[in-house]
């Protein structure tokens, strides 16, 4: 793999994560009737970090935490050249009438988020759904989807690849950009 | 436990004999995800919404047919059902003509049960659609073996080194043959037990132990898969009477109580209560018969999903 260019370093990443969690606290209070759902695979890691950060700022936030796999809902299932492998879905609560915060690492074409919203409907009819992403690649959208909470906005060419690395998975928190897809 | 190849090595599921261990692992690993799906409030995913599947049943079936149909519908596939009674088969149409007529209506996959062993192989050589064997005569019933393996794996973890006993009519049972192939590929030890007339002569050549003593065999095993006495295939008398069979090979509570360990009891259904298995065993906590049925849908969803993945529709891309 070619070496990526560092766009966000550890200190800045932590500040951004802190800001995102404060924004959520501002809007959701103590997270009554709310759930945070990470999109597999890397959205889950980010969602885990986010919920840790919220818990360190708030005594007893009341949100439910879930992991959502969207493989079976992807619109490129039959056209993809690479076989799609599912991950685990762990949503052991109903989202019926709840406020949902969907979390993903990178918002790119918007297709993952679209699939996630269809997948979410299998768990009930949520009251509201908001989207939080660490990276918004704003000029590459295929669908009318935007994030409600954004870590950073990046303008990158189509075949670039943006990777969010997290301390709970990799060694350190950082965001990298690679000039071509891996 | 996760398979790294992520793709089946074959376009059809004709029998366990023709699958690699990695295929079996891939199917079982994916079935875990589908079991989660069918336990959701809305048990449906859109993965196969552009796939049409024909269920061709030339032989009676309740469980398998419903299970396949539910699996297909929960994957959002379009489904057409066909059963031999009330069809043109009765008017003398050949199998190939029947299937080709159905395929010309743009069907992508065929799930078929047929009384002739090898019918699926014949079709696979002659048509383009993916074929799933839902039972061919006394030959194989691969999806049953996979759901049995899935149920055992769920209960016991890895099957490697586990001892599995298959009791009953081994001679006529496609479930037995598929189970033997599947369990051996997964590293389990297999023993069969039944009246000598219902144990095929060649069976030890598959590397299977043979026993005629039910109590000793139950003592040996971790799992007992008890097969149905197939009344419809008893064209000549293999056993003197059902009562005698129940006496010598029927699994009942008294027998299980005499063992000094707990074993898992399975049955592919339909059950002849009081013949091969008594009601108090079939309904006991040892039995995972109903879990097998639930798992059947998840395993069949995994199979259809992976086959559709494999077909990877060039027609969509072009």
Is B91 a known active-site residue? yes
ipTM over 0.95: no
User: Which positions in chain A touch B313 (Cβ < 8 Å)?
Assistant: 78-79
Backbone angles phi, psi at B115, to 5 degrees: -70, -20
Q: pLDDT value at position B238?
A: 86
Strand partners, B306: none
User: Which positions in chain B touch A72 (Cβ < 8 Å)?
Assistant: 33, 37, 45-47, 75, 305
C-beta atoms surrounding B265 within 10 Å: 22
The answer to whether domain B16-140+293-317 and domain B142-289 are alike in fold is yes
Strand partners, B129: none
User: Is A72 in contact with B37 (Cβ distance < 8 A)?
Assistant: yes
User: Is B33 in contact with A78 (Cβ distance < 8 A)?
Assistant: no
C-beta atoms surrounding B162 within 10 Å: 21
Q: pLDDT value at position B31?
A: 96
User: Is A83 in contact with B7 (Cβ distance < 8 A)?
Assistant: yes
Give the β-pairing of A174-178 and A161-165.
Answer: antiparallel
Q: How far is CA B20 from the centre of its chain?
A: 17
Q: pLDDT value at position B240?
A: 87
Min Cα–Cα distance to chain A from B311, Å: 8
Q: What is the pTM of this model?
A: 0.86
Q: Which of A85, A96, A115 to mutate to test the interface with B (most CBs of B within 10 A)?
A: A85
Query: In the CATH hierarchy, which top-level class contains the domain B142-289?
Result: alpha beta
Question: Cα(B47)–Cα(A71) distance, rounded to whole angstroms?
Answer: 8
Strand partners, B251: B277
Question: Cα(B164)–Cα(A64) distance, rounded to whole angstroms?
Answer: 42
Is B196 near chain A, with CB under 8 Å? no
CB A43 within 8 A of CB A89: no
Is B49 near chain A, with CB under 8 Å? no
Strand partners, A176: A6, A163
- Who contacts B294 (Cβ-Cβ below 8 Å, separation ≥6)? B35, B38
Q: Beta-strand (E) ranges in chain B?
A: 52-57, 78-83, 109-114, 130-136, 163-167, 189-193, 209-211, 223-226, 264-266
Is B141 a known active-site residue? yes
Q: pLDDT value at position B3?
A: 42
Q: Is residue A165 part of a domain?
A: no
CATH label of the domain that carries residue A53: 3.40.50.2020
Q: pLDDT value at position B235?
A: 64
Q: Is residue A1 part of a domain?
A: no
What is the topology classification, in CATH, of domain B16-140+293-317? Rossmann fold (3.40.50)
Question: Cα(B143)–Cα(B154) distance, rounded to whole angstroms?
Answer: 16
Q: pLDDT value at position B181?
A: 97
User: Is B33 in contact with A73 (Cβ distance < 8 A)?
Assistant: no
Structure tokens at A20: 């995102």
The residue with tokens 């969690």 is A21
Is B64 a known active-site residue? yes
b (16+ CB within 10 A) / e for B185-194: bbebbbbbbb
Give the structural domain span for A29. 17-75+87-159
Number of domains chain A is built from: 1
**Of B285, B306, B307, B300, the residue nearest B145 (C-alpha):** B300
Q: Is residue A60 part of a domain?
A: yes
Q: Is residue A48 part of a domain?
A: yes
Q: What is the DSSP string of B205-216?
A: GGT-EEES-HHH
Question: Cα(A42)–Cα(B143) distance, rounded to whole angstroms?
Answer: 34
Question: Cα(B5)–Cα(A27) distance, rounded to whole angstroms?
Answer: 44
Q: pLDDT value at position B22?
A: 94
Mean pLDDT per block of 10 residues along chain A (182 residues) reads: 82 95 95 95 93 92 94 78 78 92 95 93 92 92 94 88 89 88 54
Per-residue tens of pLDDT for chain B, all 318 residues: 444 557 899 999 999 999 999 999 999 999 999 999 999 888 989 989 889 999 999 988 888 999 999 999 999 999 999 887 766 777 778 888 888 888 888 899 999 999 999 999 999 998 889 999 999 999 999 999 999 999 999 999 999 999 999 999 999 899 999 999 999 999 999 999 999 999 999 999 999 999 999 999 999 999 999 999 887 766 668 888 888 999 999 999 999 999 988 999 999 989 999 999 999 999 999 999 999 999 999 999 999 999 988 765 444 433
User: Which positions in chain A touch B43 (Cβ < 8 Å)?
Assistant: 122
User: Is A69 in contact with B33 (Cβ distance < 8 A)?
Assistant: yes
Q: Where are the domains of chain B?
A: 16-140+293-317, 142-289
Is B121 a known active-site residue? no
Q: What is the three-state SS of A71-85?
A: HHHCCCCCCCCCCCC
């Amino acid at each position: 793999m070619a070496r990526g260019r560092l766009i966000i370093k550890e200190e800045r990443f932590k500040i951004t994560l802190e800001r995102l969690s404060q924004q959520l606290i501002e809007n959701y209070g103590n997270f009554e009737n709310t759930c945070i759902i990470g999109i597999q695979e890397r959205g889950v890691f980010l969602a885990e970090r986010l919920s840790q950060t919220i818990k360190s700022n708030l005594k007893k936030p009341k949100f439910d935490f879930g992991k959502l796999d969207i493989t079976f809902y992807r619109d490129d299932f039959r056209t993809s050249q690479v076989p799609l492998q599912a991950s685990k879905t762990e949503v052991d609560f109903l989202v019926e009438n709840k406020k949902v915060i969907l979390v993903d690492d990178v918002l790119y074409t918007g297709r993952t988020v679209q699939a996630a919203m269809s997948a979410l409907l299998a768990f009930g009819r949520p009251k509201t759904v908001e989207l939080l992403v660490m990276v918004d690649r704003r000029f590459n959208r295929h669908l009318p989807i935007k994030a409600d909470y954004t870590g950073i906005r990046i303008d990158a060419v189509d075949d670039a690849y943006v990777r969010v690395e997290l301390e709970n998975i990799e060694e350190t928190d950082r965001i990298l950009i690679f000039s071509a897809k891996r | 436990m996760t398979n790294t190849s992520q793709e089946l090595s074959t376009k059809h599921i004709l029998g366990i004999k023709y699958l690699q261990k990695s295929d079996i692992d891939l199917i079982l690993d994916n079935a875990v995800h589908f079991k989660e799906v069918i336990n959701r409030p809305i048990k449906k995913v859109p993965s196969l919404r552009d796939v049409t599947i024909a269920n061709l049943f030339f032989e009676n079936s309740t469980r398998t047919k419903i299970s396949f149909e539910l699996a297909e519908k929960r994957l959002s596939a379009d489904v057409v059902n066909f059963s031999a009674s009330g069809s043109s088969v009765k008017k003398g149409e050949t199998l190939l003509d029947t299937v080709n007529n159905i395929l010309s209506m743009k069907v992508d996959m065929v799930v078929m049960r047929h009384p002739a062993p090898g019918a699926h192989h014949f079709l696979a050589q002659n048509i383009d659609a993916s074929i799933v064997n839902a039972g061919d005569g006394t030959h194989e019933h691969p999806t049953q073996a996979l759901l049995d393996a899935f149920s055992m794996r769920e209960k016991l973890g890895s099957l490697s080194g586990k001892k599995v006993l298959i009791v009953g009519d081994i001679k006529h049972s496609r479930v037995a043959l598929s189970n033997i192939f599947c369990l051996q590929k997964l590293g389990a030890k297999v023993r069969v037990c039944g009246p000598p007339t219902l144990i095929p002569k060649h069976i030890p050549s598959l590397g299977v132990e043979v026993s005629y003593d039910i109590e000793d065999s139950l003592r040996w095993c971790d799992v007992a898969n008890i097969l149905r006495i197939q009344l419809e295939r008893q064209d000549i008398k293999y056993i003197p009477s059902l009562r005698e069979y129940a006496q010598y090979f029927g699994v009942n509570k008294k027998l299980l109580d005499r063992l000094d360990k707990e074993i898992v009891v399975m049955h592919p259904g339909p059950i002849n209560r009081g013949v091969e298995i008594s009601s108090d065993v079939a309904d006991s906590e040892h039995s995972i018969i109903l879990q097998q049925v639930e798992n059947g849908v998840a395993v069949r969803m995994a199979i259809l999903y992976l086959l559709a993945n494999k077909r990877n529709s060039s027609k969509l891309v072009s």
